[in-house]
Amino acid sequence: MKTNGRFLMTAIALLGSSQAAHAASTHTTYSSGWLVLAFFGLCALVVTVQLIPAIMLLAGMLKGLLSSKKSVRAMQRSR
């Protein structure tokens, strides 16, 4: 019980003495114009548009890998 009390007092002393962090204002740090934001938005749009076919391709590959072997054999016999 004595060690629990000692731990509790130490935790209170450490947490009670901490100060709040003061973040820098974004106005002075970020001073780029709207063209920079438009460029980054365009880059994000390109990445998003490229992800759509990639996800569809991955889904098709997984569907082909997980399909039953019977359908593959039936396709080979029909040729």
pLDDT tens digits for range 40-71: 999 999 999 999 999 999 999 999 888 876 66
- Domain membership of residue 29 (yes or no) is no
Question: Mean pLDDT across the chain, nearest whole number?
Answer: 80
Residues ≥6 apart with Cβ < 8 Å to 50: none
CA–CA distances in Å: residue 2 to residues 12, 13, 14, 17, 29: 15, 17, 18, 23, 49
* pTM recorded for the entire structure: 0.43
**Is the model's pLDDT at 12 over the cut of 90?**
no
- Domain membership of residue 16 (yes or no) is no
Q: How far is residue 69 CA from its own chain's centroid?
A: 36
- Domain membership of residue 39 (yes or no) is yes
**Residue 63 token pair:** 């569907």
- Domain membership of residue 71 (yes or no) is yes
What is the reported pLDDT for 19?
A: 66
Domain total of the chain? 1
What is the domain extent for residue 48? 34-79
Mean pLDDT value of segment 11-25: 70
**Is the model's pLDDT at 39 over the cut of 90?**
yes
